[in-house]
């Protein structure tokens, strides 16, 4: 049976939940049954979501409130979504307390890092000298920078290459890694582009957007197929 994948919604200031279609499409086309997890208020509802879903997908979106990692917002920190932060952090805690797989993309990767005690660069151009455009101006389905895949990581076993192409739509990035997280891919300027948690639990965090590339790039497709397969095994 195909696994049910809970996709965390974007949540507006009016508490309206929404999702960008490529996330849903990638889950469905790579073998999963996507279910949107909207903003809800009762703890018991979150517990039920944790039982209902076979895996959890924290998708891209607005910046995470820096207070979550003990900082005040700096000048170039971007727009925030407080209700999404609230929902994402609560749901991460529930999901992490199960043995079920967790995938984070872009904001989702940063969310996982902060939830595990890590910190973020609030704005790459203000904090780091780099020639790489991490906020590319080309369309979402075109490549930006390459990432170097670190040896002896699950991504290296999956792709069997030292590099792969990525797109790039972020102005923040992981700074200090959360507890237990290990780097899995980096850009040439040292910006961390993927991390994972070693051990039995499946937890993968990617800074780029494989959901915008999977239809034309076999390597990016494998990232989703791998996650969905892990969800059908637990
Ligand atoms: Mn990047």
Domain positions in the chain are 4-233
Question: What are the CA-CA distances from residue 21 to residues 143, 190, 206, 212, 221 (Å)?
Answer: 19, 31, 18, 10, 16
Residue 140 banded pLDDT, cuts 50, 70, 90 = confident
DSSP code at position 172 = -
Among 63, 70, 73, 67, smallest CA distance to 107 is for: 63
* Ligand 1 center–CA 7 separation, angstroms: 22
| CB of 63 closer than 8 Å to CB of 69 | no
Work out the average pLDDT over 131-143: 88
Q: 26-36 in b/e burial notation, b at 16+ Cβ within 10 A?
A: bbeebbbebbe
* Ligand 1 center–CA 41 separation, angstroms: 34
* Ligand 1 center–CA 115 separation, angstroms: 21
pLDDT of residue 139: 87
Report percent pLDDT > 70 for the chain: 100
pLDDT of residue 53: 98
pLDDT of residue 149: 98
Phi, psi of 229 (to 5 degrees): -60, -40
Beta bridge partners of 7: 36, 57
State how far Cα 185 lies from the chain centre. Answer: 14
Phi, psi of 60 (to 5 degrees): -75, 170
Q: What does the pLDDT look like over 20-34, one tens digit per residue? A: 999 999 999 999 999
Is residue 72 classed exposed, middle or buried when 0-12, 13-18 and 19+ CB atoms within 10 A define those classes? Answer: exposed
Using the predicted structure, report yes or no on whether residue 156 has a pLDDT greater than 90: yes
* Ligand 1 center–CA 64 separation, angstroms: 17
State how far Cα 179 lies from the chain centre. Answer: 16
pLDDT of residue 67: 98
Q: At which residue do the structure tokens 């209902």 appear?
A: 52
> What gap in Å lies between CA 227 and CA 220, rounded to an integer?
12
* Ligand 1 center–CA 122 separation, angstroms: 14
> Which residues does the annotation mark as catalytic?
106, 209, 211
* Ligand 1 center–CA 129 separation, angstroms: 14
- The CATH number given to 4-233 is 3.40.50.880
pTM value?
0.97
pLDDT of residue 141: 83
Residue 216 banded pLDDT, cuts 50, 70, 90 = very high
Using the predicted structure, report yes or no on whether residue 234 has a pLDDT greater than 80: no
pLDDT of residue 138: 87
């Amino acid at each position: 049976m195909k696994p049910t994948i809970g996709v965390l919604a974007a949540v507006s200031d009016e508490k309206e939940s929404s999702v960008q279609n490529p996330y849903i499409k990638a889950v469905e086309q790579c073998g999963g049954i996507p279910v949107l997890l909207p903003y809800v208020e009762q703890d018991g509802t979150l517990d039920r979501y944790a039982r209902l879903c076979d895996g959890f997908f924290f998708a891209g979106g607005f910046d995470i409130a820096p207070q979550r990692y003990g900082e005040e917002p700096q000048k170039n920190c971007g727009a925030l979504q407080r209700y999404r932060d609230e929902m994402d952090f609560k749901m991460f805690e529930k999901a992490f307390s199960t043995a079920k797989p967790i995938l984070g993309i872009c904001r989702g990767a940063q969310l996982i890092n902060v939830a595990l005690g890590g910190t973020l660069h609030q704005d790459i151009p203000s904090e780091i000298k780099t020639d790489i455009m991490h906020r590319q101006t080309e369309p979402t389905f075109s490549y930006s920078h390459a990432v170097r895949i670190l040896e002896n990581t699950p991504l290296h076993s999956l792709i069997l290459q030292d590099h792969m192409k990525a797109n790039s739509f972020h102005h923040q990035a992981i700074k200090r890694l959360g507890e237990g997280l290990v780097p899995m891919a980096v850009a040439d300027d040292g910006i961390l582009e993927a991390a994972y948690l070693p051990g039995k639990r499946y937890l993968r965090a990617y800074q780029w957007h494989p959901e915008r590339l999977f239809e034309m790039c076999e390597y990016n497709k494998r990232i989703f197929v791998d996650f969905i397969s892990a969800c059908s095994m637990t």
